[in-house]
Amino acid sequence: MKIIVANLKMNFNLEENIVYKNTIEKFIQPNDNVIVCPSFPFLSFYNNGNYSLGAQTVSEYDKGPFTGEVGARDLTSLDVEYCLVGHYDRRKNFSEDGATIVTKINKLVENGITAILCIGETKEDKSSKKTLAVLQKQIIEIFNKISPEKYKKIIIAYEPIWAIGSGNICDTKKLNEVVTFIKNFMVKSYRTNITVLYGGSITEFNVGDLNDIPNLDGYLISSSIINPKSFESIISNCR
């Protein structure tokens, strides 16, 4: 079973979360490898289903006078097991850089939470055939500053920026090349096996083709899983 990370982003209010949660819990089975990442106010609402609980971001700080922030130890107390870090939304809209991402990963891992590190290239990078070089640089920027004992608590999510919300999915041959590159680079440079996910315009209609990529461990999905029927179809295709 592929890993499916459902990033709900900021899409549901309380009433909508109630309907959504009740619906997805009818079709998510105990053996499904699903991680649900709701917005902060509803984390405790989702912590007792047939899925793992994930957060969408975390503070750089443990505790203190940081109005509006949520720390890793707060997430741990809510039984959060996974947390997204470095998502393009955060890099673009909140100016998160490599140093910030490293700090967040360290806070998460030190509190027993697995970090899902998002990396990806722009349309210009892709056109210039710089994809692998860009991804390698992004990996080095993070892993060179993290101690090796923490590597096992990190997952890499490859999300090409040009594919996010575009309706255009990465070509399966190219995606296989990218996933293989990331895994080989991690073994060669950091002596660790890494779990690699893909995100970017995944739907119930194309996930079947992606399932044929042998080295790909799962998916990070946003738009398609907002519709419970699409979410159910994606899970069924991944079983």
- Annotated catalytic sites, by residue? 87, 159
Residue length of the chain? 239
Q: Which residues of 38-68 are buried (b: 16+ CB within 10 A; e: fewer)?
A: bbbebbeebbeeebbbbbbbbbbeeeeeeee
- State which amino acid sits at residue 168: N
Between CA 105 and CA 155 the distance in angstroms is: 11
Token pair recorded at residue 158:
């490859």
Q: In 10 A of CB 99, how many CB atoms?
A: 12
> What's the angle, vertex CA 40, arms to CA 37 and CA 108, rounded to 5?
70
Closest CA to 8 of 204, 198, 17: 17
Between CA 37 and CA 93 the distance in angstroms is: 19
